[in-house]
Structure 1
Amino acid sequence: MKAERLIKILLLLQHGELLSTREIAEELEVSERTIHRDMEALSAAGIPVYAERGQAGGWRLVDNWKQRLSWLKEKEMLALFLPHAEKIINDLNMEISSKQIRDKLLLSLPEKSKENAVNLWERVYVDMGTWKNSNSQMLPAMEVMKEAVMSSKKVTLLYKKVNGESTESIVKPLGLVAKSSTWYVVALKTDDEFRSYKLNRIIECELLEESFTRPRDFNLAEHWERSKQQFVQNLPEFRVQVNVSPSAHQRMKFTGRFVQTVHEGKVTDKGWVEQELTFQTEEEAVNFIVGFGSQVKILSPLNLIEKVTERAEEIIDLYN
């Protein structure tokens, strides 16, 4: 965080204007004391920051000095210009645009790299939203959770589980994670057990005055990757052997969210393919196979044939 803040201070000062400690502190949302420490760090690093004393004083770079991002390799510099996900910025209510970020960074880029950076920006776009923008509305819990994460304060929340039950808890929010278009807050419960909560399932939440001590060894990215792997490993698995028609075989390539193909076997003279599929539950397997009608034939388990047949009969009865 400090390194990022020092770069931001340099970018602000490179415009050549005299900036007061208060102005810089407000821009970076830190204390004036922190800015004084940062200026000492910049000076110690050999960057010619100059303080003008007095009521109208402030900070400036000597002789319009400009520090290029020359300590970064070409690919590292270009990585800074990968377009930001506007949805993430908007969800966090940061009130900035990715274009503003790009324009400020361009000031510190060597001339030979500017064209490549602009080309990357114009040729790559990151869209984190859904096709129908169903999650485009502001999440009611976002502002509370963002403040709690940044200030290390406890939160009381009313949370709706998948089964429809609602539970009330007091948690210690540690970080926010955007998983595709869905936001999660990683928090510690009162027994210091880690838990991830979907923000769109938080019915009510309230920021408490009570602070908590953030675990010193906690790393949000590492924790999320570990918990994600554990979640996948602990998912239930229901395996099915089937024969699949050529048309169904092509369609299944686009249904990875609901089913995974573990193994593909021999192909018959009519183009049918023997496949082993995995589902999380038997019910998911039934619904999936029924949806393909006569294009998927179950080989095993045999008791699944009976359940699919029953579901098909229920559909026929519905329309009769």
Structure 2
Amino acid sequence: MRAGRLLSLLLLLQNRGRLTATELAAELEVSVRTVYRDVESLIAAGVPVFGEPGHGGGFALVDGYRTRLTGLTAAEAEAVFLAGLPGPAAQLGLGSVLAAAELKLEAALPAELRRQARRVRERFHLDAPGWYREADEAPYLPAVASAVWRRRAVRVRYRRWDAPEVVERRLEPYGIVLKAGRWYVVAHAGGGAPRTYRISRILELHPLDEAFTPPADFDLATYWRTHTAELQERLWQGEAEIRISPPGLARLRELAPPAVAEAAEAGEEEHPGGWRRALIPIESLTHAESQLLALGAHVEVLHPPALRARLATTARSLAALYD
């Protein structure tokens, strides 16, 4: 365990340059005192690590020193090949690059690790889009990806959900996220915090020869977690009281977001028949109507009256249509 940590510390210094003891402790998930002990061990083993005190200081390797101790373990080799997503890579314009990198990596692996990596390809396939819908058509994705890599601004015409429907924006794209087959760019449009834009809704894009630098404290993964949590909180605009049968509950698990299915499952069970009475969150009356209609006679809306009336009207129209 300690040998692996010493190697990780050495590779961190080799790949990232000067790092403070606090930064190394955070990366390795150990205490600062442990970092100091590990650095002393590396120095004792002949690794040319030097430290500089004060502001802007830290630990670094002597210029020109590089280690060849970069061998992968079996688990690491499997993880690398499992992480390669050829579909998204191709959409980003990196399909051939990924294929070439995997070939080079495979050629560099010992025979046994090469066999294990091939088994990963044979036994696991990652499909990003959700069921019953195709992945986004995002023709400007490679251009957005290029702007992200090069840290260059872009000017776009963008189709929004609200009025005005089509707007022009100068964007500074910080990063790209693939979520359930849909591509999003997190970008700053001037004033306030960065926002999220769905790349398939970009109608035109013009690269600009204007460099930008994201804020030093911006972290894409942290932003996305916060953004999705806030979106989930804003999503639910009200509640509906329902009665739902066991087959309806099973169908709801397939069709509805987890929050809706979990709320229905938490409801009080009635006897006989196993029906449940529950309060479920809803986005809007229109959305709830379409969602609950899919359950047919396996659900009854008790409240609010407006939603119950909508379903009754639709049910009468369907009965008249098929009478």
Cα contact 2:178–2:184 (8 A) shared by 1: yes
Q: In 1, Cα distance between the equivalents of 2:133 and 2:322?
A: 34
Aligned counterpart in structure 2 of residue 281 of structure 1, from 269, 273, 284: 284
Over the matched positions of the two proteins, sequence identity in percent amounts to 24
SS of alignment partner, residue 96 of structure 2: coil
Partner of 1:147: 146
TM-score w.r.t. structure 1 length? 0.71
Superposed, which structure 2 residues align to 1:186-225 within 5 Å? 186-225=186-225
The alpha-carbon deviation at position 182 of structure 1 amounts to 0.6
Q: In 2, Cα distance between the equivalents of 1:153 and 1:308?
A: 51
- Larger CA deviation: 264-273 vs 85-94: 264-273
Partner of 2:315: 312
Partner of 1:248: 248
Task: State the number of aligned residues.
Answer: 263
Q: In 1, Cα distance between the equivalents of 2:243 and 2:133?
A: 37
Superposed, which structure 2 residues align to 1:292-303 within 5 Å? 292-303=295-306
Superposed, which structure 2 residues align to 1:224-235 within 5 Å? 224-235=224-235
Question: What's the CA shift string for 1:284-316, capped at 9, x where partnerless?
Answer: 222333333332122333453233223333445
Partner of 2:267: 264
Q: In 2, Cα distance between the equivalents of 1:149 and 1:102?
A: 23
Letter in 2 for 1:81: F
SS of alignment partner, residue 158 of structure 2: strand
Letter in 2 for 1:45: R
Superposed, which structure 2 residues align to 1:1-320 within 5 Å? 43-47=64-68, 69-70=70-71, 72-82=72-82, 84-96=84-96, 98-129=98-129, 134-135=134-135, 137=137, 139-163=138-162, 165-257=165-257, 259-262=260-263, 263-316=266-319
Question: What's the CA shift string for 1:153-184, capped at 9, x where partnerless?
Answer: 22111111123611111111111111121111
Ranges in structure 2 where 5+ consecutive residues have no aligned partner: 1-10, 16-60
Q: 1:83 to 1:212 in 2, by over 3 A?
A: closer
TM-score w.r.t. structure 2 length? 0.70
Q: 1:196 to 1:78 in 2, by over 3 A?
A: same
Q: 1:125 to 1:101 in 2, by over 3 A?
A: farther
Q: 1:272 to 1:168 in 2, by over 3 A?
A: same
The alpha-carbon deviation at position 136 of structure 1 amounts to 6.7
Q: 1:106 to 1:43 in 2, by over 3 A?
A: farther
SS of alignment partner, residue 107 of structure 1: helix
Cα contact 2:241–2:304 (8 A) shared by 1: yes
Q: In 2, Cα distance between the equivalents of 1:230 and 1:101?
A: 38
* Structure 1: 4+ residue segments shifted above 6 A: none
Partner of 1:54: none
Cα contact 2:148–2:175 (8 A) shared by 1: yes
Q: 1:95 to 1:86 in 2, by over 3 A?
A: closer
SS of alignment partner, residue 126 of structure 1: coil
Q: 1:134 to 1:292 in 2, by over 3 A?
A: closer
SS of alignment partner, residue 271 of structure 1: coil
Q: In 1, Cα distance between the equivalents of 2:130 and 2:246?
A: 30
The alpha-carbon deviation at position 132 of structure 1 amounts to 7.0
Letter in 2 for 1:103: L
Letter in 2 for 1:90: A
Letter in 1 for 2:316: E
The alpha-carbon deviation at position 196 of structure 1 amounts to 0.7
Q: In 1, Cα distance between the equivalents of 2:105 and 2:307?
A: 59
Ranges in structure 1 where 5+ consecutive residues have no aligned partner: 8-39, 48-66
Q: In 1, Cα distance between the equivalents of 2:88 and 2:251?
A: 32
